[in-house]
Structure 1
Amino acid sequence: MGSSIGANIKRLREARGWSQSRLAHEVCRAAGVIGDPVGRQEVSRWETGKRTPREWLPFLAAALGVSVEALREPQKPAEAPLPTLDDFLPEGDPLSPLEGRSGRRVGMGEVDDLQQRVHGLRLADDVLAGGDLIRPALRDLRRAVKLYRENTFSGEVGRQLLRQIGELAQIAGWIASDAGQHAEAERIYRLGISAARQAEDHTLAGNIAGSLAYQLSNTGRESEGVTLAQAALHDAGSDAPPKARALYLDRVAWAHTKAGGIEHGQQAMRALGEAGQALSEDSPGTESPAYLYWVDAGELRVMESRVYTELHRPLRAVPLLREVLSAYDATHTREMALYLSWLAVALADANEPEEAAAVAERVISLGADTPSERVAERVRVILSRLQEYAEVPEVAALLAGHQAA
């Protein structure tokens, strides 16, 4: 019976679009108690069946607008349950406030300062690699979590702090992943998802989850990547800004591409089409979060070209990559190296080994001064792909030079 109650609580909560924190607050209000003795962790335990509500059951029913009997009623299992982000939250609650907090009173000034730090880190990531930024990124994240846990603030300031922690976790996780610290990046991303969901910012939660899905897809966990990318798209809902939906769909497309197979390839192409449609709905009057500043038609073309490369369709990939690279900002060294790496592979697939070798030389040269594990991995991919053409003089010289280095 406990599992039925938990499933019903979760189903009814999600139908209302409430977070676990919101339901906990509503239960306390229905019970007429103060101090919020029920919190998000308790609701999570009820939903997973680890604990039974017992005396809280009538207040749960009142908060959710149903009878106690309806909460107890067994539900027929869904044929294909939609994925959810709940399973990707961190164990325990690393954001829970410390008991008897004695810190100072925090206001919107601190939120603004944190927002500036996040924005500065994001801009730095455009031109610097993960190895250069990992230390300041982790330092800023630790400070932000400490600020939230040890001090006092109003409800609105608390939500804004959680939102900034979520944004900081997204960029810090991205930086850690670029530095090759994948386990650390995953922990950071999960922390960020938790912060965004507690702040009830579903758009941000979807962005962070999509970043983690991207890492999973690229590190041998393709099935998990598909599940999480789809969960990010679903949980954000149809009300997400067009740019956000385009980004979620981009991640879905890549996850299916990395999963491999004809069906996944078809799903990838479908998601790319839907991403383009979503972005076309963006207009000057449409508000999008500032962190989506980089999502535009050019970025969608990059993903489209990468998907075509991965699906071994070089006649579609090469023209797209040439178009993107011709207009790309050369100061963004890491991204330039990455995009060129896809062009090198596509040219090899198109049976143009001489040109592929020339492009590979540029990738290696750019990567030499870029402490990015992503670039290093792409160099390994290119060199492996070119082994087939080892007897071509340009390729032989490239392979020999790299081996000597």
Structure 2
Amino acid sequence: MSLAIGANIRRLRTAREWSQARLAREVCLAARVQGDPVGRQEVSRWETGKRKPREWLPFIAAALGVPVEELRTPAAPAEPPLPTLADFLPEGDPLSPLEGSPGRRIGIGEVGDLQQRVHGLRLADDVLAGGDLIRPALRDLRRAVKLYREGSFSGDVGRQLLRQIGELAQISGWIASDAGQHDEAERIYRLGISAARQAEDYTLAGNIAGSLAYQYANTGREAEGVTLAQAALNDAGSDAPPKARALYLDRVAWAHTKAGGVEHGQAAMRALGEAGQALSEDDPGAESPAYLYWVDGGELRVMESRVYTELHRPLRAVPLLREVLGGYDATHARELALYLSWLAVALADANEPEEAAAVAERVVSLSSDVASERTAERVRVVLRRLKEYAEVPEVAAVLANHQAA
């Protein structure tokens, strides 16, 4: 019975697009109790069946606007439930306040300082690699979590602080992933999803979840990547800014591409089309989150070309990649190396080994000065692909030079 109640609580909560923290507050209001005797963790335990609501059940029903009996009646879903980000929250609550802490008062000024640190890390990530940034990123994240857990603040400042922790977790997780620290990146991403959901910023939660889905897709966990990328899109809802929806759909497309197979390939192409449609609805005068500054038509063309490359459709991939790379900022060495790596593979698929070798040489040269596991892995992918043409002199030279290095 507790499992049925938990499933109903979760179904009704997600239908209202409420976070677990929001439902906890509404239950306390319905019960007219002071303080916070019910928190996010308690709601999580109800939904997973780890604890029965008991005396809280009438107040849960009142908060959700349904009869108590509706919570008790097992639901028979007509179709499999959509994945949600609640399945990807960290164990426990790493953001819970520390008991007995002195509670130094935190103001909006300190939130602004943290916001500047987050923005600085993003700009640094444009030109530096994960190996260069991992230490300062983790240091800033630990400080921010400590500030939240040990400080005292108003409700609005608390939500702003959680939002910045979420943004910091997204860029720190990205940096850790780029440095090859995938387990650490996953822990950071899950922390960020929790922070964003507690702040009731579902657009940010979707961005963080999409980043984790991207890591899954690239590290042999393709099925999980598809599920999580779709959950990010589902949870953010139709009210997410067009740029955000385009980015979520980009992640869905990539996850399906990496999963392989005809059906996944078709799903990837549909997601790419929907991403382009979403971006076309963007109003330049409308406000979007600052962290979406890099999402534009060029970025969608990059993803489209990568999908075509992975699907072995070089006649579509090569022109797109050449177009994008023709105007790319050479100071972004890591991204330049990554995009060139897909061009090298697409040229090899197009039976142009001499051109592929020339591009591969640039990939190897750029990657040698970049402390990024992602570029290192792409070098390995390119060289493996070129071995089919080892008898071609230009290819042989590249392979020999890399082996000697």
TM bracket, shorter-chain basis:
over 0.9
Matched length: 405
Contact 1:305/1:316 (8 A) holds in 2: yes
Correspondence for 2:34: 34
The Cα of 1:28 is off from its aligned counterpart by 1.0
Correspondence for 1:398: 398
Per-residue CA shift, 1:110-162, capped at 9, x if unaligned? Answer: 00000000000000000000000000000000000000000000000000000
RMSD: 0.7
Which structure 2 residues correspond to residues 326-365 of structure 1 after superposition, within 5 A?
Answer: 326-365=326-365
Which structure 2 residues correspond to residues 269-308 of structure 1 after superposition, within 5 A?
Answer: 269-308=269-308
Which structure 2 residues correspond to residues 375-394 of structure 1 after superposition, within 5 A?
Answer: 375-394=375-394
Correspondence for 2:117: 117
Structure 1: state its 5+ residue gaps: none
Correspondence for 1:149: 149
The Cα of 1:311 is off from its aligned counterpart by 0.3
The Cα of 1:29 is off from its aligned counterpart by 1.2
SS of residue paired to 1:58: helix
Report the Cα distance in structure 1 between the residues aligned to 2:335 and 2:245, rounded to whole angstroms. Answer: 22
Which structure 2 residues correspond to residues 5-404 of structure 1 after superposition, within 5 A?
Answer: 5-404=5-404
Report the Cα distance in structure 2 between the residues aligned to 1:35 and 1:260, rounded to whole angstroms. Answer: 51
2:340 partner amino acid:
L
The Cα of 1:225 is off from its aligned counterpart by 0.2
Report the Cα distance in structure 2 between the residues aligned to 1:275 and 1:404, rounded to whole angstroms. Answer: 43
The Cα of 1:257 is off from its aligned counterpart by 0.2
Contact 1:101/1:152 (8 A) holds in 2: no
Per-residue CA shift, 1:227-280, capped at 9, x if unaligned? Answer: 000000010000000000000000000000000001100000010000000000
Per-residue CA shift, 1:357-396, capped at 9, x if unaligned? Answer: 1101101100111000000000000000000000000111
The Cα of 1:208 is off from its aligned counterpart by 0.2
The Cα of 1:78 is off from its aligned counterpart by 4.0
The Cα of 1:52 is off from its aligned counterpart by 0.3
1:180 partner amino acid:
G
2:114 partner amino acid:
L
The Cα of 1:35 is off from its aligned counterpart by 1.3
The Cα of 1:69 is off from its aligned counterpart by 1.2
Per-residue CA shift, 1:322-348, capped at 9, x if unaligned? Answer: 000000000000000000000000000
The Cα of 1:169 is off from its aligned counterpart by 0.2
SS of residue paired to 1:24: helix
Report the Cα distance in structure 2 between the residues aligned to 1:287 and 1:207, rounded to whole angstroms. Answer: 16
2:276 partner amino acid:
G
Report the Cα distance in structure 2 between the residues aligned to 1:350 and 1:14, rounded to whole angstroms. Answer: 47
2:230 partner amino acid:
Q
1:385 partner amino acid:
R
| Farther off after superposition, 144-153 or 8-17 | 8-17
The Cα of 1:64 is off from its aligned counterpart by 1.1
Per-residue CA shift, 1:23-44, capped at 9, x if unaligned? Answer: 1111111111111111000000
SS of residue paired to 1:370: coil
Contact 1:21/1:39 (8 A) holds in 2: yes
Per-residue CA shift, 1:43-83, capped at 9, x if unaligned? Answer: 00000100000011111111111111111111113422101
Per-residue CA shift, 1:267-298, capped at 9, x if unaligned? Answer: 00010000000000001222210000000000
Report the Cα distance in structure 1 between the residues aligned to 2:391 and 2:245, rounded to whole angstroms. Answer: 46
Report the Cα distance in structure 1 between the residues aligned to 2:327 and 2:15, rounded to whole angstroms. Answer: 45
Report the Cα distance in structure 2 between the residues aligned to 1:199 and 1:156, rounded to whole angstroms. Answer: 9
The Cα of 1:101 is off from its aligned counterpart by 2.8
Structure 2: state its 5+ residue gaps: none
Report the Cα distance in structure 1 between the residues aligned to 2:75 and 2:334, rounded to whole angstroms. Answer: 51
Identity percentage of aligned residues:
86
Report the Cα distance in structure 1 between the residues aligned to 2:29 and 2:279, rounded to whole angstroms. Answer: 41
Report the Cα distance in structure 1 between the residues aligned to 2:284 and 2:272, rounded to whole angstroms. Answer: 23
1:384 partner amino acid:
R
SS of residue paired to 1:109: helix
Report the Cα distance in structure 1 between the residues aligned to 2:400 and 2:77, rounded to whole angstroms. Answer: 59
TM-score (norm 2): 0.99
Report the Cα distance in structure 2 between the residues aligned to 1:214 and 1:222, rounded to whole angstroms. Answer: 9
Contact 1:21/1:40 (8 A) holds in 2: yes
Report the Cα distance in structure 1 between the residues aligned to 2:326 and 2:22, rounded to whole angstroms. Answer: 49
The Cα of 1:105 is off from its aligned counterpart by 0.5
The Cα of 1:100 is off from its aligned counterpart by 2.7
Report the Cα distance in structure 1 between the residues aligned to 2:34 and 2:78, rounded to whole angstroms. Answer: 37
Per-residue CA shift, 1:72-96, capped at 9, x if unaligned? Answer: 1111134221011111100000000
SS of residue paired to 1:37: coil
Report the Cα distance in structure 1 between the residues aligned to 2:88 and 2:257, rounded to whole angstroms. Answer: 22
Contact 1:106/1:151 (8 A) holds in 2: yes
| Farther off after superposition, 57-66 or 248-257 | 57-66
1:184 partner amino acid:
E
1:40 partner amino acid:
R
